[in-house]
Amino acid sequence: MAEDWTTWNPARKAVAVCVAAQGAGASTRTPFFDGIADGLVAGGVSCLRFDFPYTRIGKKAPDRPAVLIESWREALTIAERRAKGLPLIASGKSLGGRMASMLAAEDGEAFAARALVFFGYPLHAPGRADAPRTQHLASITVPMLFIQGTSDALARFDLIEDTVRWLKQARLHSIEGGDHSFRVRGKKRPDAEIGRDLGGIAADFIRDVVRSG
């Protein structure tokens, strides 16, 4: 199996392997994802990043959900070989996280990952808060962490709060003033620095999940 569409960032004495998928508009080979990987690795979590097929061939429009979900399955298989027995965590920016959640809902108890981390879950399309993408979340059997900006145009924050409230195993970490890219108006920070902070938040959650068994 060709693996040139993945990036491997190992941690010393790792407690888990976090698989991270791209958002709709950008590859995982960006400063933002470099930062996420750095934050995870610093927290003792190895990171396997991957891009979806449409990005690999230079297309802008995402593949059909079935293709994206199959790509997730392939990435988890690769991560399992790398992990050598360590637990897997599935994560992703926006679209990547939503596809992971759809796979988790589809697989139920057979889902290969121990938990899910969403870096900006796309709860609804812009201006379509009346049509949330939440129905499948109730079928997920693993812990979830929603890392969300309070000013995210794809996730009205009160709706994210309500969603996390009714899910049994979900936690919410808010980034005050953060938009869908976690940038805060009036504060100029490099994307790599933003990503590093988010990776650290994810690593704390992952260690808690691993410790709880």
**140, part of any domain:** yes
Determine, yes or no, domain membership for 1.
no
Domain that holds residue 147: 6-212
Residue 53 C-beta-side C-alpha neighbours within 13 Å:
13
**Pairing mode, strands 16-21 and 45-50:** parallel
pLDDT digits (tens, 9 = 90+) for 103-125: 999 999 999 999 999 999 999 98
- Measured between alpha carbons, how far is 102 from 117 in angstroms, rounded to an integer? 13
Low-confidence ranges of the chain (pLDDT < 50): 1-2
Measured CA to CA, the distance from residue 151 to residue 146 in angstroms comes to 14
Q: Judge whether 189 lies within some domain.
A: yes
Q: Which CA distances in Å does 156 have to 81, 122, 153, 197?
A: 38, 10, 6, 22
Q: What is the pLDDT of residue 213?
A: 77
Q: According to the model, what pLDDT value does residue 3 have?
A: 64
Q: What CATH number is associated with residue 132?
A: 3.40.50.1820
Q: How many domains does the chain have?
A: 1
* pTM of the predicted protein model: 0.96
End-to-end C-alpha distance for the chain, whole angstroms? 31
Note whether residue 97 is domain-resident: yes
Question: 158 near 151, Cβ under 8 Å?
Answer: no
